[in-house]
Amino acid sequence: MNTEVYTNLEEETVKTLKWLGGFGSDPDGGVSRLLYSQEWVDAQESLAQLFKDEGLIVQKDEVGNLFGRLEGSTFKDETILTGSHVDTVKNGGLYDGQYGIVAGFIAIKYLKAKYGQPLRNIEVVSMAEEEGSRFPYTFWGSNNIVGKVEKDDVKDLRDFDGILFEEAMHQAGCDYKKNPGKIRDDLKAFIELHVEQGNVLETEGIPIGIVQHIAGQKRFTIEINGQANHAGTTPMGYRKDAMNAACRMIHEMNDLALSYGDPLVATVGKMILEPNTVNVVPGKAVFTVDIRHTRRSVLTKFSEEMTAKMRDIASSLGVGIDIDMWMDADPVPMDQKVVNIIKEQCIENKLNYKLMHSGAGHDAQNFAQVVPTAMIFVPSHNGISHNPDEYTEPRDLAEGVKALIGALYKLGYSKEGI
């Protein structure tokens, strides 16, 4: 493989991202393309046309996942899949999700132009949904592909306007899958290219991250029950200050997280006080904790130490504590063979890369259950995501596409494949 073919990668990637971002573009910047909205329908139909124009075979499954296939010459029942989700959060950016689709399409186009027909099928997928921004349900697209969906999961869900999931789905010309548990048996590998949504790559000045693990997550709601009292008339020694107790807990949790070191992260993102008034000692403090790590055993150990410390503090300050763990998702390792193929291609093509983990959840974690899967990251400027200010340098976008081209070439054009 040589690099002449890359001449216009930056320009073409940016142009195609802007074109796709036009479906659902917000008046003041940003993109809102919620599942089964008119903008979503327009985007999928226009992508289908784009794929067709490039000579790809287009298929859409019942729920609205869109596939564009460059057919293989030899191993016709083997498919290498790439892509990401087409939906966005409300007022999101130009990169999250749609970069993986655009990059997959451009990679296939360049491979076809440069090397002609592959031995295996190479497909790009534009998945229906991942964000959970319209209905309280995430990963609708990939869950359907990997056969993890039941009607009951979504049939009573309504969006913020009261519209039923089914109603919206039918209006967009989609439906439940006829065989929801059935999984395609031609899939041999899946690679998702995505923006990092963090600031590690930018800070370290590296354009490509090869993901080895998607972190597991535990999420908690911690409720501290003290006693609301007058801020002027209640001596410090007579207080049961829920806020003071919460602050001590959060302080210690942060110290504990720092002592564990990377890749452990622990975040208190939300806090609600009652009565939340300047001159009343808070009687109640409710806060959330979000913990992530790539190893289940570490997640569990940290959680146990953290909750034990919190209970100790509550007990020593005479306040009540109620700890509710409402999310417990295991870490997902990526496939080491696919990771190695991407790595080798980066080395061969002189692309600067870093092996890393993903702290965020992605469609790839679903695929990893059924097919050898890996992810490639490109930098997110200032780590910003889910925001109109989301930005990745055109040069970095192109480096990501190059890494993907390399991996798809190896997987789709070589006899050994994976």
What minimum distance in Å lies between the beta carbon of 404 and a copy of itself? Answer: 20
Based on the shown chain and the rule CB under 8 A, indicate whether residue 288 belongs to the binding site for a copy of itself. yes
Residue 325 in contact with a copy of itself, rule: CB under 8 A = no
Among 38, 277, 336, 414, binds a copy of itself (CB under 8 A): 277
276: left (phi over 0), alpha (psi -120 to 50) or beta: left
Per-residue x/- mask for a copy of itself, residues 165 to 184, rule CB under 8 A? --------------------
Cα 126 to chain centroid distance, Å, stands at 14
* Cα dihedral 80→83→84→85 (10° resolution): -110
DSSP, residue by residue, 41-56: HHHHHHHHHHHHHTTP
Q: Which of 171, 276, 315, 336 binds a copy of itself (CB under 8 A)?
A: 276
Cβ proximity to a copy of itself, 58 vs 298, nearer residue:
298
Q: Which of residues 337-366 bind a copy of itself (CB under 8 A)?
A: 358-361
Report the b/e string of 262-280 with b at 16+ CB within 10 A.
ebbebebeeeebbeeeeeb
Using CB under 8 A as the binding rule, whether residue 241 contacts a copy of itself is answered as: yes
In contact, 168 and 35? CB cutoff 8 Å: yes
CA torsion sign, 156 to 125 to 57 to 410?
negative
270 is an interface residue for a copy of itself by CB under 8 A: yes
Judge whether 17 and 95 are in contact, CB under 8 Å: yes
Among 1, 231, 325, 418, binds a copy of itself (CB under 8 A): 231
* Smallest distance, a copy of itself to C-beta of residue 122, A: 29
Ranges of H-type helices in 55-138: 98-115
Q: Is 205 in the site for a copy of itself (CB under 8 A)?
A: no
Q: Which of 27, 162, 205, 269 binds a copy of itself (CB under 8 A)?
A: 269
Piece in contact with a copy of itself (CB under 8 A), picked from 67-75, 178-186, 242-250, 363-371: 242-250
- Sequence-distant (6+) residues with CB within 8 A of 298 are 260, 264
- Binding interface with a copy of itself (CB under 8 A): 196-200, 203, 215, 217, 219, 227, 229-238, 241, 243-244, 246-248, 250-251, 254, 257-258, 262-271, 273, 275-282, 288, 290, 292, 358-361, 380, 382-383, 385-386
